[in-house]
Structure 1
């Protein structure tokens, strides 16, 4: 077991700048394979679900809570970086600075992380363009029993602090993988069908006669969610067994993608879990 290196800094040195750039810069996060995490729930879930912590950052100018002390005492992080409260405040995104920040290592985007089982429920999000929406979808997927989320296309960063914040830390408790395109999904489907047989593929769109309130969902199931502005691209539509919409009334022509996804997840979870499981909400 490695020994934690304890470092004290007093200025915006390399350690500070490294944390700051991981918070702000997607390219640097990808290069270093690490990302910035803030918040009690997020840090607790990262530890609970076995994510590797590279560093904890904190200040002892103010008395640390019992929670923070316990985290540091049990820590397996490579580094503990102590700094003045003024520096910690500069890194924090909160009005009142968090007492503990973390730099966490990314997990490998290995599609073999998905457990193949007869009631498999996977969500594909194509070209997500809002970190807030992506984080909210992750939160809903975690709440409604989704086994994995597959992100494709040019999307917002999964590890953007805004995404993590919108997920309320559930990113760490949810199996989320970043893939290249629909071709990667097709390859995975072909392999998975050898084990499960058929997988029902459902796409979401406003341009269909099938409505969520009358449609019958069955597992194993792949639910395809399109871009916030452009919806599902043609490659994904051609993969679908059925396209389904949410009937809405009033002046709005469509729903926010995170709201719409949550409605789909509720209905699917209710139907699939109803006979054998307690619905997870």
Structure 2
């Protein structure tokens, strides 16, 4: 095991890591917590330069963390700083990447998330975006934090591979995106609208808005409703499922490849 200093983990470090579970503290420190072996491996493979240090127990495998400062904590102390019920004995403290101001030039359409409240849903959406090759994601400031420990764990650090853009008002965002060359605005609507599989211009430099799990989408001016046909007549899909269906329709059409 590559232990930087066997007794280096301090009470001040413990307090600091616990403070990072609060959104305000995270952004003041510009640091976040990534916990678990697989998530830690993903973060190290994506962007090791953002990792400040690792905290591990003596049972954890930290051999992959080449060049990373590592501190060892006993299991009792580690369980105090862990956000999981069954800890794997490894967590990373990492810098939060700077949010993007503008989309990449080759972004085919704008994926906009409106007030997504569940970190599991948000994380799944981000993983799906990475899996299909979509680079830009917009999310409302009232959504769950993409750099909360739960969202990071759910996304398996996918957010560190994406250009994330935060916005305060969806209609102001739409105005700004139109200035960037995006045109038609679509909003997902389980109660009706155009069939997403038959909407020809759905992915042509468009804006596609997905809404809150419980309350749906904010009022979006001049938006066209689209839905996912469900022959089984179920009321609606989970928002992460809906995003997955729409994004893989873009893959099927070879918009994303």
Q: Could you say which TM-score interval applies, normalised by the shorter chain?
A: 0.7 to 0.9
Aligned to 1:167: 155
Give the TM-score taking structure 1 as reference length. 0.79
1:176–1:7 Cα change, 3 Å: farther
C-alpha deviation, 1:31, in angstroms: 1.9
Does the CA-based 8 Å contact 2:83-2:149 persist in structure 1? no
Distance 1:105 1:34 in 2: 4
Structure 1 residue 254 corresponds to structure 2 residue 248? no
Structure 1, unaligned runs of 5 or more: none
Per-residue deviation, 1:9:
4.5
* 1:221 corresponding residue in structure 2: 206
Partner of 1:46: 43
> C-alpha distance in 2, partners of 1:10/1:219?
52
Flag structure 2 segments of 5+ consecutive residues without an equivalent.
none
Equivalent residue number for residue 35 of structure 1: 32
SS in structure 2 at match of 1:36: strand
**Are the aligned partners of 1:55 and 1:103 in contact in 2 as well (CA < 8 Å)?**
yes
Cα distance in 2 between the residues matched to 1:28 and 1:154: 17
Q: Distance in 2 between matches of 1:214 and 1:92?
A: 47
Q: Distance in 1 between matches of 2:78 and 2:56?
A: 7
Structure having the higher helix fraction is 1
Shift of 1:245: 0.4
- Cα distance in 2 between the residues matched to 1:184 and 1:107: 24
CA distance in 2, matches of 1:17, 1:7: 19
- Over the aligned positions, Cα root-mean-square deviation in angstroms equals 2.5
DSSP-derived class of the 1:74 partner = coil
TM-score, structure 2 as length reference: 0.86
Question: Match for residue 54 of structure 2?
Answer: 56
Q: 2: CA distance between counterparts of 1:190 and 1:158?
A: 25
Give the match for residue 156 of structure 1. 144
2:22 aligned partner: 25
Match of 2:167 among 179, 185, 188: 179
Q: State the distance in 1 between where 2:89 and 2:35 align.
A: 9
Pairing partner for 2:189 from 205, 211, 214 = 205
Q: After superposition, give the CA deviation of every residue in 1:160-189 in whole Å (9 maximum; x if it has no partner).
A: 222112212222222222222225523531
C-alpha separation in 2, matches of 1:151 and 1:255: 19
The count of corresponding residues between Structure 1 and Structure 2 is 252
